Amino acid sequence: MSDLLTVEGLRVDYLTAGAPFTAVRDISFQIQPNEILGLAGESGCGKSTVAYALMRLHKPPALVRRGQILFEGRDVLSFTDTQLRAWRWSEVSMVFQSAMNSLNPVMTIFRQFHDMLRAHGPITRADAMDRTAEMLEMVGIPADRMQAHPHQLSGGMRQRVALALALTLLPKLIIMDEPTTALDVVVQREILQEVLRLREKLGFSVLFITHDIALMAQISDRIGIMRAGEIVEIGTASQIVTAPVHDYTRSLWDAMPILANAAEKGPAHAV
Amino acid sequence: MLSDPPILSLDRLTKTFTLRPIFGRATQVEALRAVSLDLLPGRALALVGESGSGKSTVGRMIVGHHAPTSGRILFEGRDIAELTRRGDQMRYRQAVQMVFQDPFSALNPAHTIRHHLQRALSLHQPEADPETALREILDDVDLDPVSTPSKFPHELSGGQRQRVNFARALAVRARLIVADEPTSMLDVSIRKSILALMQRLKTEHGLSILYITHDIATAEYLAEDTAVMFRGQVVEKGPTAQVVGAPQHGYTRLLRAAVPDPSIRLTGSDAGFAQDARQVRAASAAAVRGMTEVSTGHFIADHAAGDHATAETERADA
């Protein structure tokens, strides 16, 4: 199978007054169609910088120094602004770390969908409404809430709206940067199961970025562990869980307080 | 241990906030509904719940940021609202210290660590030699006693800053620390070491800790007792081994089941969880009529209207 996304020797520097700071050091990885790749690491390891660079959302002083990003064989780094605008959201979308704050507070939910839909092709208001209703129901929000403003929704609902927005144009890849960090565990679980259900239905790939490797192990197919701008280990989720090779991966696991009897007393519903 | 009188008791503590928007009507938010808890000396009580459950409000009321709407806070048997003499108030404020979630904003960026700690030391331990006391206290929280004092907060990592905050509580000889999510803004790899520090302060210094968290796994690590809050009410409380190990209330079970467990793969076809979550939330939000003791010291809430029982049955069928 050919890769959906290929990253080859990507290096991202932050220009500073002194020597440039290399946030991402020549990393390479691939994402297959319909795959969830997890990228784990501590704050400052460069994982969010990777996400931003992939969508070419990085801004100065961040600078892609070398490397290649191929999306279905097309070179993303050479896209023109027009190509980029068409590519973002329709083929790759992103759910941000504070997705609940990434919605525009003075626009209704519907207007935010409408804006995005219009930017990607002609659409009538009625059609946009139908599409918004369909997407909101898909993530478990009653369609009539499209007339609400973001502050009238709970944090979990706003996160679902952000997810619905990211899915509306049926992208092939969704980059999720700490999508559930601000939510409590019950809501987090509900949203991630929604993501998995939608992936089965729609068949997109996900680059899932978080510092919570236990959570990542539950949903990713493969996991890459990042430290100081490098991927120190990459493997299948079960290998990273049961047989981590790199010392740093092992130290991440050791640092996690994990419920003592979690394994024997598995919750009734998770299989 | 159990025969010791509690160092802190909350007695049917209620807090109602009135929101007055610029336009429209004022609305009442019941942040706490009749919360009763006991914290025993030299032990840690974990207060677990989702955001908005009222757990931080409890902490802030204990340190006096909010006054109760009704109910009492008893410190060593005395209602803190009745501490009218200045000396008594000072003693209470000294004995009870708070450690906040954000280690970055809790320290003054313009002052060194020496300044932060020596102010506290000179006020509360005037008899001690300031430099020796400073070194001892830094040693107690595993910070380098030689290089740390002259540093400014920005020169320390989040974990080190959080250690300074604990050192400050030690400097004033606190007996109860209210720690509100002290590890949630820190990197995963250092969270455990901060938990270990709290564990040690508890066993070596006999400090009591009210540990406010949304992370039930860390509660198990640190606390002897756990209380679970939902929508401003305590729904389950008792020894952590029972509450976290064998939860009885629907909401605690839900919370327990949702903790990420790397050995369990999630799939999209598990619609049961979301359905359960909705039912359990609806049932657990109903007013608590009383608590039933299911085993020694382990209580679960009885909710009004009996819909909690229904949800439990449906859960079992699912």
- Distance from C-alpha of B100 to C-alpha of B106, rounded to nearest angstrom: 7
Task: Look at B272 and A251 and tell me if their CB atoms are within 8 Å.
Answer: no
The A205-210 sheet, strands edge to edge: A92-95, A173-177, A205-210, A36-40, A222-227, A230-236
Nearest to A214 among B261, B265, B277 (CB): B261
The domain ranges of chain B are: 38-68+81-223, 232-260+270-318
What per-residue confidence (pLDDT) applies to A74?
94
**What residues contact residue B35 under an 8 Å CB cut-off, 6+ apart?**
B10, B12, B13, B14, B54, B58, B71, B229, B232, B233, B234
Count contacts between A and B (CB, < 8 Å).
145
> Which of A184, A210, A221, A254 is the mutation pick for testing B, counting most B CBs within 10 A?
A184
B39-53 tens-digit pLDDT: 999 999 999 998 788
B228-272 tens-digit pLDDT: 999 999 999 999 999 999 999 999 999 998 888 888 888 877 667
- Distance from C-alpha of B241 to C-alpha of B172, rounded to nearest angstrom: 32
The tokens of B17 are what?
């906030």
Nearest to A255 among B192, B253, B260 (CB): B192
- Distance from C-alpha of B209 to C-alpha of B198, rounded to nearest angstrom: 8
Task: Look at B274 and A140 and tell me if their CB atoms are within 8 Å.
Answer: yes
DSSP assignment, residue A34? T
Q: Percentage of chain A with pLDDT > 70?
A: 94
What per-residue confidence (pLDDT) applies to B266?
86
Strands of A133-218 (E only): list them: 173-177, 205-210
The domain ranges of chain A are: 5-255
Whether B264 and chain A come into contact, CB under 8 Å, resolves to yes
CATH of domain B38-68+81-223: 3.40.50.300
Chain A positions touching B272 (Cβ under 8 A) are: 269
Task: Look at A185 and B258 and tell me if their CB atoms are within 8 Å.
Answer: yes
Q: Give residue A141's Cα distance to chain centre.
A: 21
What per-residue confidence (pLDDT) applies to A187?
82
Q: How many CA atoms lie within 13 A of A231 on its CB side?
A: 23
- Distance from C-alpha of A250 to C-alpha of A3, rounded to nearest angstrom: 29
Q: What's the CATH superfamily of A5-255?
A: P-loop containing nucleotide triphosphate hydrolases (3.40.50.300)
Nearest to B256 among A213, A258, A267 (CB): A267
Query: Phi first, then psi: what are they for A230, rounded to 5°?
Result: -120, 150
Per-residue pLDDT at B21 exceeds 80: no
- Distance from C-alpha of B42 to C-alpha of B304, rounded to nearest angstrom: 35
Rounded to an integer, the average pLDDT of A35-41 is 94
- Residue scoring higher pLDDT (B72 or B277): B72
Q: How far apart are the first and last CA of chain B?
A: 41
Q: Which residue of B has its CA nearest to A195?
A: B268
What per-residue confidence (pLDDT) applies to B271?
67
Closest C-alpha to B125, from B161, B64, B174 = B174
Rounded to an integer, the average pLDDT of B26-46 is 92
- Distance from C-alpha of A159 to C-alpha of A140, rounded to nearest angstrom: 11
The tokens of B304 are what?
């009004």
Q: Which residue of B has its CA nearest to A139?
A: B274
Average pLDDT value for chain A: 88
How many CB atoms neighbour CB A165 within 10 A?
26
B161 — pLDDT class (breaks 50, 70, 90): very high
